[in-house]
Structure 1
Amino acid sequence: MGMTMTQKILARHAGLKTVEAGQLVEGKLDLVLGNDITTPVAIAEFNKAGLTRIFDQDRIALILDHYTPCKDIKAAQLCATVREFAKQYQITHFYDVGDMGVEHALVPEKGLAAPGEAIIGADSHTCTYGALGAFSTGVGSTDMAAGMATGLAWFKIPSAIKVTLKGKLQPYVSGKDVILHLIGTIGVDGALYKSLEFAGEGVACLSMDDRFTIANMAIEAGAKNGIFPVDDRTRSYLAGRVSRPWEAVEADPDAVYDQEVVIDLDALEPTVALPHLPSNTRTIRQAEGMPIQQVVIGSCTNGRLDDLRQAAAVLKGRKVAQDVRCIVIPATQQITLDAMKEGLIQIFLEAGCAVSTPTCGPCLGGHMGVLSDGERAISTTNRNFVGRMGPVSSEIILANPAVAAASAVAGVVADPRKL
């Protein structure tokens, strides 16, 4: 019986020739990741266990991004804890204000993830790096502490759902629409502890930023991870970023999947998720006209350069509606610089947007855009749970960057194809 991409990677890291779904294995790790919320908890567990060594100073990444630049005293204290630990153990990949970014955009940008690698992070959206053909998944802070000390983690081998993409994305449709459509199809628990493995000729039309977005939101379907095959576009992205050896994997022709979901990209419409679940999806035609008070363009899901380009193309020469606040957050310093060089930042400012330094900020109701009672935001973030961005009476609609930008101009949920 053949293995899926995920099963092959985990078998290799466990030193086994084959594995099967449900099997428990201990695997070697290529990277352990934490942020300013989860790392302090991991540090406390690390110290509580009496640990005094880390497994590899080059294979731990600590990124201050959630409440950073620090929004209050508590956030500042959490960041100070991480800074002290990073200095004590001489962590190579420690990123603070001025050189940090939203972690799941910064890790691939810095070349810290590569095909065939096994990565854990104390953040649920660590599954993002599956876009590069890596196995990456979120874990708790206790597992992060153990990973930092030993370079090992226990895994239950997941079964898989094969997602076959055919056709080609149409204008104003992006990777965000692919993943929202998929979640709407199978539900928020449709891939519970399974691997979402993407395949088909439609993969070739997806940019790397599209793939990062799709893999990032695999967790919103309950998946253990999402993963893409490695192709020429992947190799081009890795060139100049990753110098260490890496080895991609391919699913066996006789790999076993629990089910197959086929998505026709030619027919895919801009898609939004209404409150209060990512699975509560509608086409833009079904949702347009809903009033909004805020727009957020950014996050680990849609704060990359392609996302900013899509938003800027809609906002160029237009103004944000009078009663709407539009917040744009490039995901890393480099993305900000690139957006400046392309004139995107000028377009946002001239349109009346607020442009922020990299931060998770409003995505988790942290800062830089928390909603008030009864307000509604349309956002390129990944979750629209009750109270996610403010009071329980507030609402979030998830959308792609073009739809978010069009809505900022219209003052209501809007179809960018109609502006």
Structure 2
Amino acid sequence: MGMTITEKILAAHAGKERVEAGELINAKLDVVLGNDITAPVAIKEFEKAGATKVYDKDRIMLVPDHFTPNKDIKSAEQAKLVREFARKHEITNYFEIGEMGIEHCLLPEQGLVLPGDVIIGADSHTCTYGALGAFATGVGSTDMAAGMATGEAWFKVPEAMKFNYHGKELKPWVSGKDLILYTIGKIGVDGALYRSMEFMGEAIENLSMDGRMTMANMAIEAGGKNGIIAPDETTLAYVEKRAKRQFELYKSDEDANYVETYDFDVADIEPQVAFPHLPENTRPVSEAGNVKLDQVVIGSCTNGRIEDLRVAAEVLKGRRVNRDLRLIVIPGTQLIYLQAVKEGLAEIFVNAGAVFSTPTCGPCLGGHMGILAAGEKALATTNRNFKGRMGSPDSEVYLSNPAVAAASAVAGYIVSPEEVCK
């Protein structure tokens, strides 16, 4: 029997000819990632264990993005600890304010995560990099500390699930965000628990890298160990002009084993909205009803890329944000910010009455720059809508793609872009 792409990558990094689901392995790491919330804990564990040297100063990525620019004294202290560690160990890929971005937008953009890699990050959405054809997964700060010291980590090889998306063309205003929300709605937030989610089919082949990263990003919302898409010409076109080192391409064998297979016709998928308080609580936007909003957020590691800002600007151009709500737009990186300025997108956002922010995770995790009060409702292009995720436990968060978010910001309630862009 053949192997899946995930099994092949793990086998190569474990020095084995093959691995099978359920097997415990020790694998060499290509990248170890931490941010300003998780890295401080990992650094303390690293030093507590008596480690004095990182395994490779070029393979450790430290990106302070969650509470930066620092929102208070505690967040400033955490960022300072990361900064000092980076300087002490001469970490090559430490990204300070002015250079940093949201980590899962930044690392692919900089060519620091590549096809065939094994990547761990002390952040659950590290699975984003599976869009490049890498095995990428979130870990705890203790595993990050061990990874920084040894360059290795242990894994249980995950079982694999196959998701086939049939059909070349998506419906108007449908994106990768809708495909993954639809999928999570079908299988639930624990439907892929500790499994590899492999996305394939004509619709995926025709999806941009931005859309693919959105899909892989939310594999964790279905409980997945990782999300992954086999590299193709689209991947290579994105990677080859960015890659900082050599990489290897893998793909699944035709006779690889999958514990479950799902087939979806994208002609059946319209823009989706996830209602509180779980990403699985999805329904088509046409069935959203009249949900009045207090805030709309466009950004995050899920939908803060240039393609996301372009579609939002397309909806907002020549229109105004409803005066009863706040619209916050957050680009994923400094380069995306600059591109948005060059293309006139930033001007469209500001003229529409939105806030156009510096790159940061900000309100996604209830950090800063958009915290909700009790009773308030927000529609966001982020990845989670758990109770209290964006502020008060008595607030509500709904999830959608950028087009639906922008249209809803204009209408004042959740609405399809087709109703606004008539």
TM-score per shorter chain, which class? over 0.9
Deviation of 1:405 after TM superposition, in Å, equals 0.2
For residue 317 of structure 1, what is the amino acid of its counterpart? G
Indicate the SS of the match to 2:114.
Answer: coil
| 2:400 pairs with 1:394 | no
Residue number in structure 2 paired with 1:407: 408
Deviation of 1:414 after TM superposition, in Å, equals 0.7
Deviation of 1:2 after TM superposition, in Å, equals 1.2
Residue number in structure 1 paired with 2:163: 163
* Deviation string, structure 1 residues 28-57 (Cα, Å, up to 9, x no partner): 000000000000000010011010011000
Residue number in structure 1 paired with 2:100: 100
For the 8 Å contact 1:114–1:238, the answer to whether it is kept is yes
For the 8 Å contact 2:33–2:144, the answer to whether it is kept is yes
Residue number in structure 2 paired with 1:313: 314
Deviation of 1:262 after TM superposition, in Å, equals 1.1
Paired positions, count: 419
For residue 236 of structure 1, what is the amino acid of its counterpart? A
Indicate the SS of the match to 2:263.
Answer: strand
* Deviation string, structure 1 residues 380-413 (Cα, Å, up to 9, x no partner): 0000000000111100000000000000000000
Residue number in structure 2 paired with 1:344: 345
For residues 95 and 264 of structure 1, what CA distance do their matches in structure 2 show?
A: 41
TM-score (norm: length of structure 1): 0.99
Residue number in structure 2 paired with 1:152: 152
Deviation of 1:174 after TM superposition, in Å, equals 0.4
For residue 142 of structure 2, what is the amino acid of its counterpart? T
Indicate the SS of the match to 2:321.
Answer: coil
Residue number in structure 1 paired with 2:290: 289
Deviation of 1:205 after TM superposition, in Å, equals 1.3
For residue 79 of structure 2, what is the amino acid of its counterpart? C
Instruction: Give the alignment of 1:227-238 within 5 angstroms.
Output: 227-238=228-239
Deviation of 1:215 after TM superposition, in Å, equals 0.2
Residue number in structure 2 paired with 1:304: 305
For residues 294 and 344 of structure 2, what CA distance do their matches in structure 1 show?
A: 26
Residue number in structure 2 paired with 1:76: 76
| 2:214 pairs with 1:213 | yes
Deviation of 1:243 after TM superposition, in Å, equals 4.2
For residues 355 and 8 of structure 1, what CA distance do their matches in structure 2 show?
A: 42
* Deviation string, structure 1 residues 310-357 (Cα, Å, up to 9, x no partner): 100000000000111000000100000011111000000000000110
* Deviation string, structure 1 residues 127-174 (Cα, Å, up to 9, x no partner): 000000000000000000000000000000000110001112122000
For residues 212 and 266 of structure 1, what CA distance do their matches in structure 2 show?
A: 21
For residues 204 and 2 of structure 1, what CA distance do their matches in structure 2 show?
A: 22
Is the deviation greater in 248-257 or in 260-269? 260-269
Deviation of 1:272 after TM superposition, in Å, equals 0.6
Residue number in structure 2 paired with 1:256: 257
For residues 331 and 78 of structure 1, what CA distance do their matches in structure 2 show?
A: 21
Residue number in structure 2 paired with 1:270: 271
For residues 72 and 66 of structure 1, what CA distance do their matches in structure 2 show?
A: 12
For the 8 Å contact 1:295–1:377, the answer to whether it is kept is yes
Q: Please, what is the CA RMSD of the aligned residues?
A: 0.6
Instruction: Give the alignment of 1:20-99 within 5 angstroms.
Output: 20-99=20-99
For the 8 Å contact 1:169–1:205, the answer to whether it is kept is no
For the 8 Å contact 2:67–2:360, the answer to whether it is kept is yes
Indicate the SS of the match to 1:327.
Answer: strand
For residue 343 of structure 2, what is the amino acid of its counterpart? E
For the 8 Å contact 1:175–1:206, the answer to whether it is kept is yes
Residue number in structure 1 paired with 2:356: 355
Instruction: List structure 1 segments (4+ residues) > 6 angstroms apart after TM superposition.
Output: none
For the 8 Å contact 1:8–1:249, the answer to whether it is kept is yes
Deviation of 1:211 after TM superposition, in Å, equals 0.3
For residues 178 and 202 of structure 1, what CA distance do their matches in structure 2 show?
A: 9
For residues 396 and 154 of structure 2, what CA distance do their matches in structure 1 show?
A: 37
Is the deviation greater in 76-85 or in 198-207? 198-207
For the 8 Å contact 1:374–1:395, the answer to whether it is kept is yes
For the 8 Å contact 1:288–1:415, the answer to whether it is kept is no
For residues 243 and 54 of structure 1, what CA distance do their matches in structure 2 show?
A: 20
Residue number in structure 1 paired with 2:323: 322
Indicate the SS of the match to 1:307.
Answer: helix
| 2:182 pairs with 1:181 | yes
Is the deviation greater in 4-13 or in 198-207? 198-207
* Deviation string, structure 1 residues 76-118 (Cα, Å, up to 9, x no partner): 0000000000000000000011100000000100101111110
For residues 326 and 289 of structure 1, what CA distance do their matches in structure 2 show?
A: 18
For residues 202 and 384 of structure 1, what CA distance do their matches in structure 2 show?
A: 26
Is the deviation greater in 18-27 or in 284-293? 284-293
Residue number in structure 1 paired with 2:137: 137
Residue number in structure 1 paired with 2:246: 245
For residue 97 of structure 1, what is the amino acid of its counterpart? I
- For structure 1, list consecutive stretches of 5 or more residues without a partner in the other structure: none
For the 8 Å contact 1:121–1:139, the answer to whether it is kept is yes
